[in-house]
Amino acid sequence: MTVVKKRVKALPSSQRGKKRYILFELLAEKPLSAAIVEKEIERKFFELFGSRGMASQKLHFIGFYGEKNLGVLKCSLEKCEECKAGLIFMKGIAGMAVVPRIVKVSGSAKKLKEIVK
Amino acid sequence: MPYLDLVFFDSVPDLKLLAKKLGQDFIVCKAFKNDFELKQLREKLAGTGFKTCHLMQNANMQELQKFRQKADYIAVYGKNVQRNKFACSTDRVDFLLMPCSDSKKPEFDAGLARLAAENNVCIALCFSEMLNAGPRMLEDYFRNYIFTFKVCKKYNVPFTVFSAAKTASEARQAKDFSSMLCMLGIQRETALEKIRGLSGFLEKKGKLDGFEVIEGKEGAGK
């Protein structure tokens, strides 16, 4: 009987590539919902960079704190500037005008969570 | 504040709020028809620390002479070879906004870059135009500005990115424009230097306080 592996062995951290976490703020009149913000970021980045660009950015939406309109985005270190530029291209979410602002870039999500709190 | 941004709207409450939230100062740019309009804006901005800038949309030397001493800064709107040449060939112009349009052939070249470097004219990209451009137009803008900034870097021309916002929602944090320059092929360190160095550029030009610098010349009053 052959044993089928349920999970593949995780890649060692040294081979995963370095990442950065971007803390951004969306200055808007009302609190925004995480799902809408995530969808809008994906749409805008796809429009700007395409599938290949987004793949190389290793983009991952970590979370959005609606009450403060602060969000965290994970990306690869090499494409960090590209991601920051992509974020400032956002101009409206759900019909509401927003002014994006990069608050901080960090190597760990923990530091950013402290800032959000 | 070390960061400066140029905008096209003059709503003081909005500007004050944005200055506080984004941590930067503003240059309010407008095409003034006469001295009275400029005076009105100056009165409106009194006590805020924001500067005024006259926007020229024609290559007109008389207009330049008229507003040179009155407005804090002079900007020329490019997108045309004639206007670009006019702006680059005089040191009285501070900014050349949008030297290139979305045409196939860029309106800015090495010759103009050399002239701009000689006369210390800052080449500026208006972010709001890219923000409001469609995908096809954006592609053309990217192509032309990658070339423009490459040439500017080669000939040591000062360059920067302004939000050039027509409404408060189009304004962006000036600090974040360094990423925009990185996207246009400039190295991160150079991009940061260019964005941070704008105040230094204006100071060097003797225009940070809006007037030609006369102090510092020792014995001027003797």
Closest CA to B58 of B34, B36, B38, B82: B82
SS3 (DSSP) at A34? helix
Round to whole Å and give the CA distance between B217 and B156.
27
Of all residues in chain B, what percent carry a pLDDT higher than 70? 92
If one compares B213 and A63, the residue with the highest pLDDT of the two is: A63
Name every residue in B having a CB less than 8 A away from some CB of A.
18, 21-22, 127, 130-131, 135, 138, 167-173, 175-180, 182-183, 188
The helix or strand, by DSSP H or E, that contains position A10, with its residue range, turns out to be none
Residues of A in contact with B172 (CB under 8 A): 88, 99-101
Q: What is the pLDDT of residue B205?
A: 75
Mutation pick from B20, B131, B176, B188 vs chain A, by most beta carbons of A within 10 Å, is B176
Residue A60 lies in a domain: yes
Q: What is the pLDDT of residue A16?
A: 87
CATH code, domain with A43: 3.30.70.3250
Domain boundaries, chain B: 4-204
What are the phi and psi torsion angles at B131 (to 5°)? Answer: -65, -35
Least confident of A61-70, B39-48, B163-172, B201-210: B201-210
Name every residue in A having a CB less than 8 A away from some CB of B.
27, 47-48, 81-82, 84-85, 87-89, 91-92, 97-102
Model confidence band, residue B202 (pLDDT cutoffs 50, 70, 90): confident
Round to whole Å and give the CA distance between B28 and A48.
30
- What six digits make up the tokens of B103? 């045409």
Please state which of the four CATH numbers 3.40.640.10, 3.60.90.10, 3.40.720.10, 3.20.20.140 is assigned to the domain occupying B4-204: 3.20.20.140
Closest CA to B9 of B170, B126, B202, B177: B170
Least confident of A38-42, B46-50, B198-202: B198-202
> Is the entire prediction scored with pTM above 0.80?
yes
pLDDT at B215 over 60: no
Q: What is the pLDDT of residue B207?
A: 67
Q: How far is A110 from chain B (nearest CA, A)?
A: 23
Q: What is the pLDDT of residue B198?
A: 86
B173: nearest CB among A81, A98, A102: A102
The structure tokens 């003059």 sit at B10
pLDDT tens track for B116-151: 999 999 999 999 999 999 999 999 999 999 999 999
Range of the domain at A62: 18-109
The structure tokens 């944090």 sit at B173
Model confidence band, residue B201 (pLDDT cutoffs 50, 70, 90): confident
Residue A69 lies in a domain: yes
Q: What is the pLDDT of residue B1?
A: 55
Task: Specify the number of domains making up chain A.
Answer: 1
| CA-to-CA separations, B126 to B123, B130, B171, in angstroms, rounded | 10, 7, 11
Model confidence band, residue B218 (pLDDT cutoffs 50, 70, 90): very low
Round to whole Å and give the CA distance between B188 and A42.
25
Q: What is the pLDDT of residue B217?
A: 46
pLDDT tens track for B76-129: 999 999 999 999 999 999 999 999 999 999 999 999 999 999 999 999 999 999
Q: What is the pLDDT of residue B220?
A: 43
Round to whole Å and give the CA distance between A65 and B53.
39
Other beta carbons less than 10 A from residue B220's beta carbon: 8
What string of DSSP letters covers chain B? ---EEEES---HHHHHHHHHHHT-EEEEEE--SSHHHHHHHHHHHTTT--EEEEEE-S--HHHHHHHHTTSSEEEEE-SSHHHHHHHHT-TT--EEE----SSSS-S--HHHHHHHHHHTPEEEEEHHHHHTS-HHHHHHHHHHHHHHHHHHHHTT--EEEE--BSSGGG---GGGHHHHHHHTT--HHHHHHHHHTHHHHHHHTT-TTSS---TTSTTTT-
Closest CA to B180 of A92, A81, A44: A81
Q: What is the pLDDT of residue B172?
A: 95
Residue A68 lies in a domain: yes
Q: How far is B201 from chain A (nearest CA, A)?
A: 24
For range A16-38, the mean pLDDT: 94
Q: How far is A14 from chain B (nearest CA, A)?
A: 25
Contact present, B140 and B102 (Cβ < 8 Å) = yes
Averaged pLDDT score across all residues of chain B? 89
pLDDT tens track for A45-98: 999 999 999 999 999 999 999 889 999 999 999 999 999 999 999 999 989 999
Residue A6 lies in a domain: no
What string of DSSP letters covers A39-86? HHHHHHHHHHHHHHHHHHHT-EEEEEETTTTEEEEEEEGGGHHHHHHH
| CA-to-CA separations, A3 to A6, A7, A9, A10, in angstroms, rounded | 9, 12, 15, 19
Residue A114 lies in a domain: no
Q: What is the pLDDT of residue B208?
A: 59
pLDDT at A31 over 80: yes
The helix or strand, by DSSP H or E, that contains position A114, with its residue range, turns out to be helix A109-116
Residue A55 lies in a domain: yes
